[in-house]
């Protein structure tokens, strides 16, 4: 995920994480889980993490990736929302190897259950 033209990094992070955590899609937030961050504060924590990384390393990304997002979908009726969230969390742990904060938001607003998982786009947890 990149910064949208005309928006700040903070605005983009808030837009993306608010979409993922949408209470209409996540059973009032019950289907949102997180690792190394607070799901309610994830946008500001990701922003702070990015700022700390820049301060520590001095590195500025050429394409300014702000986060990575995985989507995971299940066939209608294949799985319960709670199990989908658990499987999404396990996948996120495997992909990030414990080095990155993430949230997993399981959306139930369509005929198929699906997970949206943004995580911060720095190389190591700081």
Of 9-23, 29-43, 56-70, 96-110, the least confident: 56-70
How many domains does the chain fold into? 1
Task: Let me know if residue 31 belongs to a domain.
Answer: yes
If pLDDT is split at 50, 70 and 90, which confidence band does 41 have?
very high
Task: Let me know if residue 62 belongs to a domain.
Answer: yes
Task: Let me know if residue 67 belongs to a domain.
Answer: yes
Task: Let me know if residue 90 belongs to a domain.
Answer: yes
Task: Let me know if residue 51 belongs to a domain.
Answer: yes
* Predicted pLDDT of residue 5: 82
* Predicted pLDDT of residue 30: 97
Task: Let me know if residue 92 belongs to a domain.
Answer: yes
* Predicted pLDDT of residue 3: 80
Nearest Cα neighbor of 121 from 68, 71, 70, 69 is: 68
Residue tagged 């190389």 (tokens) = 123
Query: What is this structure's pTM?
Result: 0.85
Q: Does the pLDDT value for residue 54 go beyond 90? A: no
In percent, how much of the chain has pLDDT > 70? 92
Residue-number span of the structural domain to which 104 is assigned: 9-120
Opening angle at CA 43, ends 46 and 29, nearest 5:
125
Q: Where are the beta strands (DSSP E) in the chain?
A: 32-35, 67-73, 102-107, 114-120
Task: Let me know if residue 91 belongs to a domain.
Answer: yes
Q: Does the pLDDT value for residue 36 go beyond 70? A: yes
* Predicted pLDDT of residue 59: 84
Task: Let me know if residue 2 belongs to a domain.
Answer: no
Which tokens in the block code for residue 69? 């997002």
- What distance in Å separates the CA atoms of residue 112 and residue 45, rounded to the nearest whole number? 30
- What distance in Å separates the CA atoms of residue 122 and residue 101, rounded to the nearest whole number? 10
Q: What is the pLDDT of residues 60-111, one digit of tens each?
A: 777 777 778 889 999 999 999 999 999 999 999 999 999 989 999 999 999 9
* Predicted pLDDT of residue 119: 58
């Amino acid at each position: 995920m990149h910064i949208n033209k005309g928006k700040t990094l903070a605005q983009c992070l808030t837009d993306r994480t608010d979409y993922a955590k949408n209470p209409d899609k996540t059973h009032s937030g019950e289907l949102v889980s997180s690792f190394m961050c607070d799901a309610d504060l994830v946008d500001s924590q990701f922003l702070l993490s990015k700022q700390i990384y820049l301060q520590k390393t001095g590195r500025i990304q050429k394409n300014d990736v702000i986060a990575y997002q995985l989507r995971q979908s299940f066939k209608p009726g294949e799985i319960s929302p709670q199990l989908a969230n658990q499987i999404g969390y396990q996948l996120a742990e495997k992909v990030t190897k414990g080095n990155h904060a993430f949230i997993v938001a399981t959306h139930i607003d369509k005929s198929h259950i699906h997970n949206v998982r943004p995580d911060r786009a720095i190389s190591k947890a700081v």
